Amino acid sequence: MDQNNESSSLAGVRHVILVLSGKGGVGKSTITAELALALRHAGKKVGILDVDLCGPSIPRMLSATRRDVHQCDSGWVPVYADAEKSLALMSVGFLLDDPDEAVVWRGPKKTAMIGQFVSDVAWGELDVLLVDTPPGTSDEHLAILENLKKLKVADGAVLVTTPQAVSTGDVRREATFCKKTGLRILGIVENMSGFVCPHCSECSNIFSKGGGEELAKLTGCPFLGCVPLDPQLSASLEQGKDFLKSFPDSATFSAISGITKTLLNSLQTKE
């Protein structure tokens, strides 16, 4: 990370990674949450900034709903998802009176909120800050990128796709967005890649496979790996439980750990 941001609230953050997808519902928040948990298991201090203002799902997935954000001298104190304070979260979900309330804001209000998230959250020392974004390329994307670019702190993006999404072009548009805005693509994750049977743990490819790898080849970006569609993973997220802790012998655990290791290596080679 460029140390041009010494006085900013991100001064103690070593790496900032945006998690992007072309389409909604492909598992961007799931991958963000699982990457954060895997990094924490690897001994890293992690933060998640949820800029999906209209559909903030990070608080629920990490069992942190109905928590309040407090002020300190250096800004907003993030909500910690664990007692050790190694997983810090900030989301508009913490600022709403009712977490199910719909956020219906125009562009300028969203831009101002994201500006405040970047300048006012007292993250402290973090190894990695993951930024969960809405699908596509919206006001939120432009606002977060503009703010991060001013501070020269964005390491790059992880693109999440499903095996078949490459044919729709949405995710290719997302890759073009990264290229146009000068955001490095750290890698592509293929999510919902095969289905893990809840009874026998066998993984079957119900859709086509290989869309993520194909996209990586098309765009010249690294391929980070595949995460299967695993009912135990969605159940854990619904209940705000740490899947990686509950299912350490599963193929999904190995997949998420492998992706996290590759991502960490790519950050280290950049340092």
Q: Tell me the per-residue interface mask from 146 to 185 with ligand SF4, x by CB under 6 A, - otherwise.
A: ----------------------------------------
Which residues belong to the annotated binding site for ATP?
22-29
CA triplet 165, 172, 152: central angle to 5 degrees?
Answer: 125
Phi, psi of 183 (to 5 degrees): -95, 120
Contact 246, 233 (CB under 8 A): no
| Footprint of ligand ATP on 151-210 (CB under 6 A) | 191-192
Residue showing tokens 């949820």: 50
Measure CA of the first residue to CA of the last residue in the chain; give whole Å.
Answer: 8
Return the number of other C-beta atoms located less than 10 Å from residue 172's C-beta: 18
Residue 25 or 169 having the CB closest to ligand ATP:
25
Based on CB atoms, which residue is closest to ligand ATP, 20 or 185?
Answer: 20
Instruction: List binding-site positions for [4Fe-4S] cluster.
Output: 197, 200
Q: In whole angstroms, how large is the CA radius of gyration of the chain? A: 17
Residue 13 interacts with, from ligand ATP, ligand SF4, none (CB under 5-8 Å by kind): none
- x-or-dash string of contact with ligand SF4, 192-221, rule CB under 6 A: -----x-xx-x-------------------
Footprint of ligand SF4 on this chain (CB under 6 A)?
197, 199-200, 202
Footprint of ligand ATP on this chain (CB under 6 A)?
21, 24-30, 52, 55, 57, 134-135, 191-192, 227, 229-230, 233-234, 237
